[in-house]
């Protein structure tokens, strides 16, 4: 019996979310009185793999196979299913991100394992096995019982604190036989923006809405983001108008984010927007309308015009940083 954690890598490197997953998996293994096994697929160097041990991975399975260079949902599912069976995994933990969403549901059918997706806490109980997950787009949470012998959990990002432990992990190289005919995804072209902080990785997000008035007014908002080491985002009307790219749209139908700090500038706070940001640890709102619903979701607020407030805020951040 074991808890299996699948950790994705980005060009051979792990991210904070990988360590969150490992920390979470280690805790679940503790609860079950078993040990945690991490699975890495791709070209990751041993010293990078070893980092997973610092968060509680006892055994790290290192799987390299050129057929898995691109994400093919069927090939990945078959691979992880085989490893899970070999390791006697009772709980499989996967990130609730693009890759996790491509694999975990298929794995659920393959292994006939109940899935709890977008889970943001440790299991509430083990027997029955109950998980806590997002529901109604952040307007509620649901306690859901996973009724099968094997369970799959996809963990929401930034929902679990890192837990460092003594590192005594062993790395084991593993291989699986993948039928090349099974790999049906043919990637023709990859377009990557480099050097830009990703919205889903950012601990701080600065987001603009219609209150910014025009696409040309984004300069100060980007400057504030730069000063704070934050990613930029926007509300739906802004991306619909084409003021900002759709990848920046946060909200129910856009990206769901959960940073430590979300600064909403000129965003009124429609239910659909709040649905995408409600898991943020702190929300700051800057808006001209003191009755805007965004202030009900925010812990800190400034009633004022973005064009006037942002420059002052930038100066204040610069001053603090220069101290």
Partner 1 sequence: MKILVCISNVPDTTTKVKFTDNNTKFDSTGVQWVINPWDELALTRALELKDNTSTGIQSVTVAHVGHTSAEPTIRKALAIGADDAIRVNAEPTDAYQVAAQLAEAIKDGQFDIILCGIESSDFNGSTVGSMLAEFLSYPSVSAVSGLNIENGEAIITRDIDGGKETLTVPKPFVAIVQKGIAKEPRIAAMRGIMMARTKVIKVIEPTAVEALTQLVTFEPPQPRAKCIFVDAENPKQLIDLLQNEAKVI
For residues 122-141, which are near partner 1 according to CB under 8 A? 128, 130, 132-141
Q: Among residues 5, 80, 114, 221, which is the contact residue for partner 1, using CB under 8 A?
A: 114
Burial class (CB in 10 A: 0-12, 13-18, 19+), 265: buried
CA distance 77 to 176: 12
Minimum CB–partner distance for residue 6 and partner 1 (Å):
15
Which residues are bridge partners to 154 per DSSP? 94, 117
Site for partner 1 in 21-60 (CB under 8 A): none
Among the listed ranges 35-43, 52-60, 61-69, 179-187, the one in contact with partner 1 (CB under 8 A) is 179-187
- Pick the closer one to partner 1 by CB: 166 or 190: 190
Q: Among residues 33, 47, 166, 193, which is the contact residue for partner 1, using CB under 8 A?
A: 193
Structure tokens at 46: 């041993």
Minimum CB–partner distance for residue 165 and partner 1 (Å):
24
- Pick the closer one to partner 1 by CB: 267 or 298: 298
Please compute, for residue 151, the number of CA atoms within 13 A of its CA located in the half-sphere on the CB side.
24
DSSP one-letter string for 93-130: EEESSHHHHHHHHHHHHHTT-EEEEEE-SS-SEETTEE
Chain Cα centroid distance, residue 216 = 31
Q: Among residues 33, 166, 188, 216, which is the contact residue for partner 1, using CB under 8 A?
A: 188
10 is a site residue for partner 1 (CB under 8 A): yes
**Which of these, 182, 175, 181, 108, lies nearest to 147 by C-alpha position?**
108
Among the listed ranges 34-42, 51-59, 61-69, 293-301, the one in contact with partner 1 (CB under 8 A) is 293-301
Q: How many CB atoms lie within 10 A of CB 294?
A: 26
Q: Among residues 47, 147, 168, 177, which is the contact residue for partner 1, using CB under 8 A?
A: 147
Site for partner 1 in 252-281 (CB under 8 A): 252-255, 260-261, 270-272, 275, 278, 281
């Amino acid at each position: 019996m074991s808890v299996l954690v699948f950790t994705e890598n980005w060009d051979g490197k792990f991210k904070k979310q990988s360590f969150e997953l490992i920390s979470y998996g280690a805790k679940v293994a503790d609860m079950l009185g078993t040990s945690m096994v991490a699975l890495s697929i791709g070209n990751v160097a041993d010293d990078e793999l070893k980092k997973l041990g610092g968060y509680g991975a006892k055994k790290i399975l290192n799987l390299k196979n050129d057929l898995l260079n691109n994400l093919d949902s069927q090939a990945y599912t078959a691979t992880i299913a085989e490893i899970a069976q070999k390791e006697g995994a009772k709980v499989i933990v996967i990130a609730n991100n693009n890759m996790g969403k491509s694999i975990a549901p298929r794995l659920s059918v393959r292994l006939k394992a109940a899935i709890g997706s977008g889970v943001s806490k440790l299991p509430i109980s083990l027997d029955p096995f109950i998980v806590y997950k997002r529901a109604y787009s952040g307007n509620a949470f649901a306690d859901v019982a996973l009724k099968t012998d094997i369970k799959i959990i996809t963990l929401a990002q930034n929902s679990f604190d890192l837990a460092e432990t003594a590192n005594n992990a062993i790395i084991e190289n593993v291989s699986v036989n993948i039928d090349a005919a099974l790999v049906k995804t043919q990637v023709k072209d990859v377009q990557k923006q480099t050097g830009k902080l990703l919205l889903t990785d950012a601990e701080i997000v600065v987001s603009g809405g219609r209150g910014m008035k025009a696409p040309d007014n984004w300069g100060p908002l980007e400057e504030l983001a730069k000063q704070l080491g934050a990613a930029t985002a926007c509300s739906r009307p802004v991306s619909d108008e084409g003021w900002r790219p759709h990848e920046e749209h946060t909200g129910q139908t856009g990206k769901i984010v959960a940073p430590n700090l979300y600064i909403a500038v000129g965003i009124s706070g429609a239910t659909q927007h709040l649905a995408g940001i409600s898991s943020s640890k702190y929300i700051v709102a800057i808006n001209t309308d003191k009755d805007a619903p965004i202030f009900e979701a925010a812990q800190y607020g400034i009633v004022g015009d973005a064009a006037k407030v942002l420059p002052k805020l930038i100066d204040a951040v610069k001053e603090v940083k220069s101290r």
